[in-house]
């Protein structure tokens, strides 16, 4: 979204047992690894596990629970190799790459080889630096016909029935409420030839990218919208329109696109998005989706996490209940359908103000309790404007919680994770993996959080094995923990502090 909402949306937002205990073991010395942060193997999610709390987690081939943290790239400016190396150096493992149907297929039936080659380069860089890439079929206000630059849905796939469109320079999101844009979305959902052309594009692109080492999968359609019968300034009308879209036209599109990708790629994960009203505390009406791939499903849920008032330029008000309302709205659907969650976009335009600084802290804490990963908006340098980095490439003021340590691979079930004032605490229940690589839990140690190194303490079990690669030369380190004496179901706590 990354922009302010209309008054209608604003009014809607307003309305709406320990075993084998022993003394803690501490590791303070660095076990300097011979490989850099980017050369270490990054696990690919091969399945899921649903835990007793109802959450479904991504897992690797050893059954370890995975968490992916990262950023959106390639929307405002073309991402560079230096960008991806810097993200990997900070300890991130995920990029969400905004692609454009219009740029990849400016002429119907013919992929642009130069744009495709550029996308391949981005994925190659991601693989080089051990980043997983979630390819985002991005659109904002449909496409170029409606002021979207050269990104979005091509002109040749835009049918607006000659209806009016008036761009609001102060509120680009209001373009979705224009008759021409609503007509274009309706035709995309309903017209047989547009359906076929869209599915064909997804199939051909998936054929080009399939099997790439960095390819996590696809976010099938960014921030879906559609027709709004009635007055879009009426919150009740918006809710009804969103519900109708999520019950009918949108799931039909997702089923077509799932089938289109699966014709050529059975490995990639496919993520569905709700409409943006989930960010206002409105639960999605999306149904379940079947995955035609052989074996277990690889379908996930990718909502966005934006506060309307913050996007409108206000400082966040903690008393408004936004985070609590969002979490209540967003968790029921993936739990009901056993889907892993990656929050595809989140973050304020600037976190320099007190409220927005608290918002970033609250959001990161909330996501650790319901999401397996997230991609913050946006990886760039600047003073505000959604840039997560300051002009010198350090975490922008207020964005520090996004650069915190996190358990990227866990041989057990996560219970709680928090980071405050340089102190990181992780509690998890062991899964009883055998001694060896499959049993290692891995925690990222960002250099920005531990510039002088980290001290790791483990309690709850006997003789833990620690392998700590300290942050060095501005690059993140890794704390690896193996628990050979722990029985399955043991509650273990890992504490990390600065030195």
Q: Per-residue pLDDT averaged across 186-201, rounded?
A: 98
Gap between the Cα atoms of 59 and 49, Å rounded: 7
Gap between the Cα atoms of 412 and 140, Å rounded: 39
**How many domains are there within the chain?**
1
Please answer whether residues 50 and 341 qualify as being in contact, where contact means their C-beta atoms are separated by less than 8 angstroms. no
* Per-residue pLDDT tens over the stretch 26-41: 543 333 333 344 445 6
Phi, psi (degrees; rounded to nearest 5) at 330: -90, -20
> How many CA within 13 A on the CB side of residue 371?
27
Using 50, 70 and 90 to split pLDDT, how confident is the model at 148?
Answer: confident
Q: Which residue has the higher pLDDT, 43 or 424?
A: 424
Calculated CA dihedral for residues 470, 474, 475, 476, nearest 10 degrees: 60
pLDDT for 41: 62
pTM for this entry: 0.93
Residue 54 in domain: no
Please answer whether residues 46 and 61 qualify as being in contact, where contact means their C-beta atoms are separated by less than 8 angstroms. yes
pLDDT for 436: 36
Residue 488 in domain: no
* Per-residue pLDDT tens over the stretch 435-478: 334 589 999 999 999 999 999 999 999 889 999 999 999 999 99
Q: Which domain holds residue 117?
A: 7-16+67-404
Residue 52 in domain: no
Residue 43 in domain: no
pLDDT for 432: 59
pLDDT for 32: 34
* Per-residue pLDDT tens over the stretch 238-264: 999 999 999 999 999 999 999 999 999
Alpha helices by DSSP H, 19-158? 81-89, 101-104, 113-128
End-to-end CA distance of the chain: 40
* Per-residue pLDDT tens over the stretch 263-319: 999 999 999 999 999 988 999 999 999 999 999 999 999 999 999 999 999 999 999
**Percentage of residues in the chain having pLDDT higher than 70:** 90
Q: Which helix (H) or strand (E) element contains residue 496?
A: strand 491-498
Residue 278 in domain: yes
Please answer whether residues 4 and 173 qualify as being in contact, where contact means their C-beta atoms are separated by less than 8 angstroms. yes
Q: How far is CA 332 from CA 327, 340, 373, in A?
A: 9, 12, 17
- The position carrying tokens 């009014």 is 11
Q: What is the Cα Rg of the chain in Å?
A: 22
Q: Which residue has the higher pLDDT, 438 or 488?
A: 488
pLDDT for 1: 54
Phi, psi (degrees; rounded to nearest 5) at 407: -85, 100
* Per-residue pLDDT tens over the stretch 100-147: 999 999 999 999 999 999 999 999 999 999 999 999 999 999 999 998
Residue 105 in domain: yes
Instruction: Extract the runs of DSSP E, i.e. beta strands, from 195-296.
Output: 215-219, 269-272
Residue 240 in domain: yes
We report the CATH number of the domain holding residue 336 as 3.20.20.80
Instruction: Extract the runs of DSSP E, i.e. beta strands, from 197-315.
Output: 215-219, 269-272, 299-301, 304-305
Residue 293 in domain: yes
Using 50, 70 and 90 to split pLDDT, how confident is the model at 180?
Answer: very high
Using 50, 70 and 90 to split pLDDT, how confident is the model at 423?
Answer: very high
- Residue 132: strand pairing partners: 94
């Amino acid at each position: 979204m990354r922009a302010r909402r209309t008054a209608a949306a604003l009014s809607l937002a307003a309305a709406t047992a320990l075993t084998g205990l022993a003394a803690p073991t501490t590791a303070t010395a660095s076990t300097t690894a011979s490989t850099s942060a980017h050369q270490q193997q990054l696990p690919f999610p091969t399945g899921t596990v649903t835990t007793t709390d109802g959450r479904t987690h991504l897992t690797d081939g050893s059954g370890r629970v995975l968490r992916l943290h990262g950023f959106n790239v390639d929307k405002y400016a073309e991402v560079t190799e230096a960008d991806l190396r810097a993200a990997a150096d900070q300890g991130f493992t995920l990029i969400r790459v905004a692609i454009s149907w219009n740029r990849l297929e400016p002429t119907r039936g013919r992929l642009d080889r130069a744009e495709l080659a550029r996308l391949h380069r981005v994925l190659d860089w991601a693989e080089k630096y051990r980043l997983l890439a979630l390819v985002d079929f991005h659109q904002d206000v449909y496409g170029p016909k409606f002021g979207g630059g050269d990104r979005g849905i091509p002109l040749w796939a835009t049918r607006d029935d000659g209806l009016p469109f008036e761009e609001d320079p102060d509120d680009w999101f209001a373009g979705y409420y224009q008759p021409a844009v609503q007509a274009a979305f309706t035709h995309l959902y309903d017209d047989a030839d547009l359906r076929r052309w869209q599915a064909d594009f997804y199939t051909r692109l998936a054929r080009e990218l399939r099997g790439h080492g960095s390819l996590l999968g696809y976010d099938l359609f960014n921030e879906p919208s559609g027709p709004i019968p009635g007055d879009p300034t009426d919150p009740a009308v918006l809710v009804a329109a969103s519900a109708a879209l999520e019950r009918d036209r949108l799931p039909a599109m997702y089923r077509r696109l799932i089938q289109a990708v699966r014709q050529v790629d059975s490995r990639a994960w496919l993520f569905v998005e709700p409409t943006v009203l989930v960010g206002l505390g409105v639960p999605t009406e999306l149904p379940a989706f079947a995955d035609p791939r052989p074996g277990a499903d690889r379908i996930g849920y990718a909502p966005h996490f934006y506060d309307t008032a913050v996007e409108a330029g206000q400082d966040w008000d903690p008393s408004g209940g936004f985070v609590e309302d969002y979490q209540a709205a967003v968790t029921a659907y993936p739990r009901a359908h056993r889907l892993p969650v990656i929050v595809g976009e989140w973050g304020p335009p600037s976190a320099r103000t007190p409220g927005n600084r608290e918002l970033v802290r609250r959001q990161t804490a909330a996501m650790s309790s319901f999401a397996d990963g997230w991609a913050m908006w946006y990886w760039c340098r600047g003073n505000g404007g959604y840039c997560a980095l300051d002009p010198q490439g350090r975490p922008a003021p207020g964005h520090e919680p996004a650069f915190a340590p996190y358990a990227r691979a866990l041989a057990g079930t996560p219970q709680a994770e928090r980071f405050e004032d340089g102190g990181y605490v992780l509690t998890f229940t062991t899964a009883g993996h055998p001694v060896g690589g499959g049993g290692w839990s891995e925690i990222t140690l960002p250099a920005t959080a531990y510039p002088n190194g980290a001290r790791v303490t483990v309690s709850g079990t006997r003789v833990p094995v620690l392998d700590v690669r300290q942050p060095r030369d501005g690059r993140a380190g890794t704390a690896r923990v193996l628990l050979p004496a722990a029985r399955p179901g043991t509650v273990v706590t890992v504490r990390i502090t600065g030195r």
